[in-house]
Structure 1
Amino acid sequence: MENKIALVTGILGAIVSYMFDLVGVAVSILILFMLADYITGLVAAGINKELNSRVGLTGFARKMYILVLIGMIYALEFTASHYAEFDIFGGYIGDGAAFAYIAIEFISIAENGVKMGAPMPPFVKNILKIVKEKAGLKEEGDQNENN
């Protein structure tokens, strides 16, 4: 389910980027979401006494990998359009990928909020429940359902 959300968000993000000519803005937004996810993850781990430097470093490394991957998508689009005279939507595929990861980061931020016991709007709880059910996972917030 998370992959489907990312796919739809990525396609819509590429379209929005094309419509408003905002190539590259999605990466700035992604970095903001990644920072928020990392910080909320640290806070949730601290509250639950689960802080682990190895887990934190692994999470950071994954986020850096995602940024490198998206950078490579932009580089391929640039190379194709400028050197091979083959325009692949002028950077909008990179923006689409960034928007897909923004959706994934949002889900993770919401999950971190549940782990912290923070109040969560019902529609966000429903989205998380659907994603976890589709992924075949037990919902994190089951024991904190009354929050």
Structure 2
Amino acid sequence: MKNSILTISGVVGTFIAHYLGGWDTALQTLLIFMAVDYFTGLMMAGVFHQSNKSKNGALESKAGFKGLCRKGMALLIVLVGAQLDVMMNIDVVRNGVIIAFTVNETISIIENAGVMGVPIPDVLTNAIEVLQNKKQGGVQ
């Protein structure tokens, strides 16, 4: 039974990684950052009760599920980018999409850390403000 589960997991994982453009450092980094962001979001809600995703700032299963859905949608956009690269025989769209989502995850991680009281260097705070202002002025 254990071997069957591991085999099926391996095949499914390989299939998913293939269609996301391959298991490389970019995809690995994005998935790690997504996991860290989700974990820090759970800590903000569960420990610090300061989540802006729920009414009372505490853990809420619906808010957590929405977060997972958003991350799943981001991965679907990576899949679209990877397939566009295959169609056009280039290696640009997927990497651009991954970089954009990785930057977004980084900003969220730093914001979560700041809410938790971790001192954030001014250069990072200023960079986040600049990026957020550009995001608000452009397409969201």
Name the TM-score, length of structure 1 as normaliser.
0.64
Give the distance between the partners of 1:23 and 1:93, measured in 2 at CA. 16
**Structure 1 residue 132: Cα displacement:** 4.6
Counting only pairs closer than 5 Å after superposition, residues 59-78 of structure 1 correspond to structure 2 as 59-78=67-86
**Structure 1 residue 23: Cα displacement:** 8.5
**What's the counterpart of residue 58 of structure 1?**
66
1:32-59 per-residue CA deviation (whole Å, 9 max, x = no partner) reads 1101111111111123322111111101
CA contact (8 A) 2:84 2:93 kept: no
CA-based RMSD:
2.3
Distance 1:67 1:101, change over 3 A: same
Task: Report which structure shows greater RCO (CA 8 Å, sep ≥6).
Answer: 1
Contiguous gaps of at least 5 residues in structure 1 = 1-21, 81-85, 137-147
Q: 1:35 corresponds to which letter in structure 2?
A: A
Give the distance between the partners of 1:121 and 1:46, measured in 2 at CA. 25
Name the TM-score, length of structure 2 as normaliser.
0.67
**What's the counterpart of residue 93 of structure 1?**
93
Percent of matched pairs sharing the same residue: 32
Counting only pairs closer than 5 Å after superposition, residues 4-43 of structure 1 correspond to structure 2 as 24-43=24-43
**What's the counterpart of residue 122 of structure 1?**
122
Count residues with an aligned counterpart. Answer: 107
List 4+ stretches of structure 1 deviating above 6 A: none
